[in-house]
Chains A and B, each alone.
Chain A
Amino acid sequence: MITDFFISFSTYVIIYIIIVSSFNISFGFTGLVNLGHMVFFGIGAYTSAILTLHGMPWYFALILAGLFTSLIGAAIAAITVRLKGDYFQIVTLGLVFIAIAISRNWISLTRGALGLPGIPPIIKDNFNYMLFTFLVCVICLAFFYWLTKSETGKIFQAIRDDETAASILGKNTYFYKVLSITISTFFAGIAGSLFVHFIKFVDPSIFDLDFFVIILTMLVAGGLASITGSIIGVVSLAITSEALRFVVVNPELIGPVRHMSLMLILILILIYRPRGILGKVNV
């Protein structure tokens, strides 16, 4: 039975690794601080949930979740990546609130706050599902490693380090920024789809800011511009937050104490490990 817990825990960790490392592509490698990354995770989750509930087979839903999410990501990026510095962060942070409002109010599609229950699983057996997510994750990571070493990845990093220089060298920085967001949102959508078929229920709370803060901390803790760092960040923080479940306090204070401890850890990481565990650039 304990193995069952570890299977489900590992499934979460694997899915988080996909989210965080895809986040790293836009944030860490390209320097685009996309604070709305979890919006795309949520869009992927909703897309996949709605499609499978309407009878589409899961493999189509999984791919379509990724494609549709990256389509939206590309459209938003096309409008917003020209914004500089704080503006881009603010617009993308604003996406979070817009996503919440739409998922709550587009009742005919999302059933609003009631959420979508009864989402069919991809694979019924949890162990096999974990293997499946692991496989997807390995493919994603292999792609990320290849991408970051490739010519495109080098241009991404050149844009992050000095956009003016990159454009003087004749690179179409606008195109590459949109490309970076498109790639990273595609994988966020895939992760959302994997997640929703595991939980089998989705409601607007998937866009909650608390969840985003935890994902962001995993990224920062692991280190920007390092895929290996992202993996380590996810694993170490996921273990910490699960370990907090075993801290025994007065039952009435379980909620706030766990919450506060996690937030304290996040602050300490930001102050003492600004580059994270394996980070190559400052946050």
Chain B
Amino acid sequence: MPLQSILPQLFINGLIAGSVYALAACGFALVYYVVKFQYFSQGAILTIGAYIFFLFLNLMGLNYILAAILSIIISILAALTTNWLVYRPLRKRKAGGVPLLVASIVILIFSSSLMQALFGSSTKTLLLSNQNKVFTFGFLTITLFQIAIIILAFILFFLLFYILMRTRLGKAMRALADNKDVAQIVGINPEKIYNYTFIISAVLGGISGILIGLEQNLYPRMGVLIIIKGFISSVIGGLGSVPGAIVGGLFIGLVENIGIWFLPSSYKDVISFSIMLLFLLFRPQGILGVRMRDDN
């Protein structure tokens, strides 16, 4: 089959994958931008959001909107708890990026075991009515829910920009991200803003968890697998840049899916990691060209 007839399908495949990566990446990037560490435990928040949604929707039989709201609330509580118990004590003793990074990976792994202890190891399926309605245009196919994911992802990205660029909170976050000392002098309380940052990223995480859960089923280690791609997206887009993370996610989704048309599909991960390495070596500021902080 000629490439041009298949290209639209590859493009759609890439767009769906890219939206999922971007959803996982934007919470990660937001925390990196403001709080300055590699927030892998965003994967834990995703997992918790998805499982709590499953708990309320399938096990307790609540309405799906109510279930989604409750699951977002619990995601927020989970994010604040990890901040309060682990990240804040670490920041207090002026720990560098490494202990925070390790702690966030540990929390991520911990959460998968916790979900297994609470919900069991088997795969759970989430399903809404009409979710799998398929639209076909010639060779091209897409489901209703995939269209919804792409649209919802873009709405969320827009809201995130709005908060960052147009609100007082967003201004405070940007001030803190640019220079913590100056921000403190003008009366911004970093811990308070950090808390808001974790809340916003948890809302993103909870919603993404639900969407990803609906699209790809639930299993205890789902967060580990998704956040790795979120992390790559964030690096490629420009670490510490929220728009960068979104662009990076979409870019990786597209390149991976179009790339394995030409290469054996088992090299999908090699494609994304190689691109990440190339970016780090030749354009470390990422696609959108944000400069990263220098540790030294």
Chain A residues with a Cβ under 8 A of chain B: 33, 79-80, 83-87, 89-91, 94, 97-98, 100-102, 104-105, 163-164, 209-210, 213, 216-217, 220, 253, 255-257, 259-260, 263-264, 266-267, 270-271, 274, 282-283
Contact = CB atoms under 8 A, between A and B. Distances in A.
Interface stretch (B101-109, B145-153, B248-256): B101-109
The contact size tier of chain B is 35 or more
A210 B110 CA distance: 11
A263 B99 contact: no
Nearest to B266: A105
A89 B97 contact: yes
A25 to B, nearest CB: 16
Contacts of B281: 79-80, 83, 91
A101 B284 contact: no
A94 B99 contact: no
Contacts of A256: 113-114, 116-117
The interface residues of chain B, by DSSP majority, are classed as: helix
B200 interface: no
Of B102, B284, B292, most A-chain CB atoms within 10 Å: B102
Contact of B277 (A33, A94, A259): A94
A267 B110 CA distance: 10
Contacts of B96: 282-283
B239 A267 contact: no
Contacts of A163: 296
A107 B99 CA distance: 36
A91 B264 CA distance: 24
B289 interface: no
Contacts of A259: 109-110, 113
Contacts of B228: 97
A266 to B, nearest CB: 5
B97 A85 contact: yes
B159 interface: no
A206 B53 CA distance: 34
B86 A267 contact: yes
29 contacts: A85-B97, A85-B293, A85-B295, A86-B292, A89-B97, A89-B101, A90-B235, A90-B280, A91-B277, A91-B280, A97-B273, A98-B270, A101-B266, A101-B273, A105-B266, A105-B270, A163-B296, A213-B102, A213-B109, A216-B102, A217-B102, A257-B117, A259-B109, A264-B110, A267-B103, A270-B86, A274-B93, A282-B96, A283-B99
B264 A105 contact: yes
The interface residues of chain A, by DSSP majority, are classed as: helix
Contacts of A97: 228, 269, 273
Interface string B153-182: 000000000000000000000000000000
Interface of B: 38, 86, 89-90, 93-99, 101-103, 105-107, 109-110, 113-114, 116-117, 224, 228, 232, 235, 239, 264, 266-267, 269-270, 273-274, 276-277, 280-281, 284, 292-296
A274 B110 contact: no
B109 to A, nearest CB: 6
A87 B286 CA distance: 11
Given A85-B295, A163-B296, A213-B105, A90 B89 contact: no
A220 B114 contact: no
A61 B93 CA distance: 46
Contacts of A33: 98
A90 B102 contact: no
Nearest to A259: B113
B274 A98 contact: yes
B273 A94 contact: yes
A212 B172 CA distance: 37
A14 B228 CA distance: 32
B113 A84 contact: no
B105 A209 contact: yes
A33 B96 CA distance: 12
A99 to B, nearest CB: 10
B116 A255 contact: yes
A178 B125 CA distance: 49
Contacts of B101: 89
A263 B111 CA distance: 10
Given A101-B273, A105-B267, A260-B114, A220 B90 contact: no
A1 B281 CA distance: 53
A277 B106 CA distance: 20
Which 6 A/B pairs are nearest by Cβ-Cβ distance?
Answer: A85-B295, A256-B117, A256-B113, A263-B110, A259-B113, A101-B269
A255 B105 CA distance: 19
Contact of B113 (A105, A217, A260): A260
Contacts of B117: 253, 256-257, 260
Contacts of A282: 94-96
